[in-house]
Structure 1
Amino acid sequence: MNKTFKIYALVFIIIMVILALLEVNKKEVTDWRKNFDVDEKSPFGLFVFNHESKDLFKGKLKKVDVSAYEYYNQNKNKPAHNILVIESEIDMESWKKIMDQVSKGSDAMIIVSHLPKPVSDSIGYYNSQISFEEENYIKLTDKKYQGDFIHLDKFPSGRGFSYIKPEIEVLGKTVEKNNTDQANFIKAKFGKGTFYVHCEPLFLTNYYLLKKGNVKYFQDVFSYLQDRDTLWFVESNTKESRFFMRFILSKPALKYAWWIFLGGLVLFIFFNAKRKQRIVPIVEPLKNTSAEFVKSIGNLYLQEGDFHDMMAKKAQYFLNKVRLDLLIDTQNLDEDFAKKLHLKTGKPVEMINEAITLIKKGQDPYANVMKEDLARMNKLLDEIIKI
């Protein structure tokens, strides 16, 4: 057993021990998400309602797991019936089919916090956020149901009907301490049928249905529907995920094992790749000795004090650059040369004439050259053409 394998084994054992301790000591966390799923036993699922609905509708309830559009296209001559929608995402074409069925004599119980605007406008109301209170009461307006209410003490939606057409009947309302009562349950005639719209679906969830006394309100709401066949459209709640990892990720133990496997694989690849990589040799870059050479030559000239020779070489290099870069003949340093150099460089004529004078002085082997002459010529030539 080599050293690398022992290290991997030790790391794996430590990770497994830590995960085991976390699993043993973890506390059960309540899922307070408003999922409205018929198979969820979490507080805001519809598991209890799903099982109680058989007795509530006297065995006449049928769950439909396809869209209303698809269902009614396959059942075009369906007699008048009840339609139930609970906080589901329904496309506009399906809503049109539902509205068409209601207009022909069916009744629809729509229990959603928000409807698409074209649908709500057609029914004759507009709902919005009316409150941000942490708790409230929902009750019915009918005198025979006055004693039946539900206390919403966990995450009420706070939605209500901010506008209702005069012909619409209010069946229920939201009651709060610091606000006026607001309608949350209405009855609207639509063609030959009726829409019942409730904008607080929380009263159907497991958390509230299991509280003592709340079932009566739940029964009162559905008592408005006629005793006949009822279709409950649950397509969005029952549609199964098609992700190929859905089974593994749905089981906590398998999910942890899967993530450990992926983490271990990443660590293995990382350490193994690092281990196998060959050592990259350090290559020293070539040293640029040109600057040192120039510096040495310059120091040599300064030590010798041969300013005349330095002026001659500077002048020769400058004139060569003028010939190559500016394409000016440098054989005669006369007025014509000065004019061409002035036109191509844009430098003042006085500066160019002074530079020509110093160049000629550097080219004259008998001229008396001072250090100041060299410095002045060097400055002028560098200003005329950057060398």
Structure 2
Amino acid sequence: MSNKFKILAGVLLTLIAVLIYLESNQEDPINWYSSYSKSDKIPYGTFVLYNTLKETRTEDNFKEISRPPYEFLADSNHQRGTYFFNNDFINFDEAESLQLLDWVSRGNTLYVGASGIGETILDTLSLEIEALYQLDNLEREPHMELVHPELKKEHPYTLDLDIQTFYFKEVDTINTIVLGEYDYIKNKDSLTLREPKVHFIKQAFGEGTIIIHLMSDVFVNYFMLHNSNYVYTEAALKYIPENETIFWDNHYKNGKTIQTSPLYMLFKNRYLKWAYYMLLIGVVLWVFFEGKRKQRAIPIIKPLPNQTLAFTKTIAGMYLEKQDHKSIALHQINHFMEYIRNEYSIETADRGLDFIERLASKSDNTQEDTKRLMDYITSINQKYPITQEELLKLNKLIEAFKTK
């Protein structure tokens, strides 16, 4: 390896090390993705809300539902409690909405924190949703308060994010209970809402209750951990009946878990990701340098030739050259007896009538042919010398016997 090549490799490794150092010391950017996932600690995750609700219930009274509501209620229609949904928008279809309404009418509670829930439920409750626009106020930081005297505070709660908000356009106060209002306020120190808009309501349905909060942002980590806003969220959750099972929905979530690759967690963490890249780079460099320094051509070693056939031909030629037909016949007889012992598991020491019957039966030969062969073998053993014709006849009888 030349010195020039070593210098270039050292510079490359130094640059990679500097890049990794700078990347590892850089602060992670804030992730503003609206996931609403229970496991996310990002601003728009619901890690705080999930644990807040879970701590208010026993293990048996807090259940997570990862299936669509239609499937869950179809299989568990007898379950009683509060079905809790929270996402930026939840589009219940007609069949699902009717299933939920039927379940609520039997004495259960539906609690939805979302900017929309589909037309079927809204039409059934005679509600209409509209986006809030104020041309004289370009700031869209909502200020909220709860209507109940015991829950209302001196100052409205503030969500200091510029977001699009929705409200109930018309509310039938005979059938609907207003729980919360909001407005855009120019003066953040103001104690009252200028033109309050209803965004949090409760309505009886059959023997049950439907609660809708159109501002899902009040349930995320960012809002609950900002100043004392958690008081607002906890107060909004007080409308969930006490000692009632909460069914936490994991299906209608923007950030529900869909990753299945084992490398997902590796690449999700920046430090593990760069450690993985460094490992790959190190392996490539090691293979390159070590392979170049140590790789040698592998010589081709020819296998030893099989000389069995040549040896056999040589030995046979010696016997034929000497005209020793008797020795060849004895070898052939011994080989045939070994064949009988291995193939038919018959002892060949005694070649009487019982031996002939067993051998004929197992070899599918007739007793006459088998006896003729054994008699001929006996005559060959007793005769010396033998002619070439007699040797050929012995070979012919043995081959005929085997072919059966």
TM-score normalized by the length of structure 2: 0.57
Specify the alignment match of 2:150 in structure 1. 144
Is it true that 1:42 corresponds to 2:50 in the alignment? no
Alpha carbons of structure 1 residues 143 and 13: separation in structure 2 relative to 1, 3 Å: same
Instruction: State the Cα distance separating 1:257 from its structure 2 match.
Output: 5.4
1:124 touches 1:168 (CA, 8 Å); kept in 2? Answer: no
1:150 touches 1:203 (CA, 8 Å); kept in 2? Answer: no
Specify the alignment match of 2:185 in structure 1. 177
Specify the alignment match of 2:101 in structure 1. 99
Q: What amino acid is the match of 2:159?
A: L
2:65 touches 2:249 (CA, 8 Å); kept in 1? Answer: yes
Is it true that 1:28 corresponds to 2:28 in the alignment? yes
SS at match of 1:218: helix
Specify the alignment match of 2:130 in structure 1. 128
2-structure distance, mates of 1:201, 1:251: 28
1:32 touches 1:44 (CA, 8 Å); kept in 2? Answer: yes
SS at match of 1:17: helix
Aligned counterpart for 2:264 among listed residues 242, 246, 252: 246
Instruction: State the Cα distance separating 1:4 from its structure 2 match.
Output: 10
Instruction: State the Cα distance separating 1:186 from its structure 2 match.
Output: 1.0
Instruction: State the Cα distance separating 1:108 from its structure 2 match.
Output: 0.8
Alpha carbons of structure 1 residues 18 and 122: separation in structure 2 relative to 1, 3 Å: farther
Alpha carbons of structure 1 residues 91 and 173: separation in structure 2 relative to 1, 3 Å: closer
SS at match of 1:113: coil
Alpha carbons of structure 1 residues 239 and 15: separation in structure 2 relative to 1, 3 Å: same
Instruction: State the Cα distance separating 1:212 from its structure 2 match.
Output: 4.3
1-structure distance, mates of 2:177, 2:236: 14
Specify the alignment match of 1:197 in structure 2. 212
1-structure distance, mates of 2:272, 2:196: 50
1-structure distance, mates of 2:170, 2:276: 52
Q: What amino acid is the match of 1:35?
A: S
Q: What amino acid is the match of 1:84?
A: F
SS at match of 1:9: helix
2:24 touches 2:270 (CA, 8 Å); kept in 1? Answer: no
Q: Which runs of 5+ in 2 are unaligned?
A: 187-193, 284-404
1-structure distance, mates of 2:260, 2:125: 36
Specify the alignment match of 2:360 in structure 1. none
Instruction: State the Cα distance separating 1:5 from its structure 2 match.
Output: 6.6
Identity, % of aligned positions: 21
Instruction: State the Cα distance separating 1:213 from its structure 2 match.
Output: 3.0
1:171 touches 1:186 (CA, 8 Å); kept in 2? Answer: yes
2-structure distance, mates of 1:107, 1:208: 25
* Deviation readout 1:276-317 (Å, 9 max, x if unpaired): xxxxxxxxxxxxxxxxxxxxxxxxxxxxxxxxxxxxxxxxxx
Specify the alignment match of 1:229 in structure 2. 245
Which range is displaced more, 126-135 or 194-203? 126-135
CA RMSD of aligned residues (A): 3.2
* Deviation readout 1:229-281 (Å, 9 max, x if unpaired): 2211122354341246423321213434566899999xxxxxxxxxxxxxxxx
Alignment map for 1:202-217 (pairs within 5 Å) = 202-217=217-232
Alignment map for 1:301-340 (pairs within 5 Å) = none
Alpha carbons of structure 1 residues 162 and 91: separation in structure 2 relative to 1, 3 Å: closer
Q: Which runs of 5+ in 1 are unaligned?
A: 266-387
2-structure distance, mates of 1:74, 1:5: 69
SS at match of 1:66: coil
Specify the alignment match of 2:66 in structure 1. 65
Is it true that 1:162 corresponds to 2:169 in the alignment? yes
1:56 touches 1:219 (CA, 8 Å); kept in 2? Answer: no
Alpha carbons of structure 1 residues 14 and 194: separation in structure 2 relative to 1, 3 Å: same
1-structure distance, mates of 2:203, 2:31: 35
Alpha carbons of structure 1 residues 243 and 89: separation in structure 2 relative to 1, 3 Å: farther
Alpha carbons of structure 1 residues 258 and 161: separation in structure 2 relative to 1, 3 Å: farther
Q: What amino acid is the match of 2:166?
A: R
Q: What amino acid is the match of 1:50?
A: Y
SS at match of 1:125: coil
1:12 touches 1:264 (CA, 8 Å); kept in 2? Answer: no
1:61 touches 1:232 (CA, 8 Å); kept in 2? Answer: yes
2-structure distance, mates of 1:259, 1:161: 52
Instruction: State the Cα distance separating 1:30 from its structure 2 match.
Output: 2.1
2-structure distance, mates of 1:36, 1:98: 21
Is it true that 1:255 corresponds to 2:256 in the alignment? no
Alpha carbons of structure 1 residues 226 and 89: separation in structure 2 relative to 1, 3 Å: same
Alpha carbons of structure 1 residues 55 and 257: separation in structure 2 relative to 1, 3 Å: closer
Q: What amino acid is the match of 1:105?
A: G
SS at match of 1:169: strand
Report the count of equivalent residues: 265
Instruction: State the Cα distance separating 1:39 from its structure 2 match.
Output: 0.9
1-structure distance, mates of 2:9, 2:234: 61
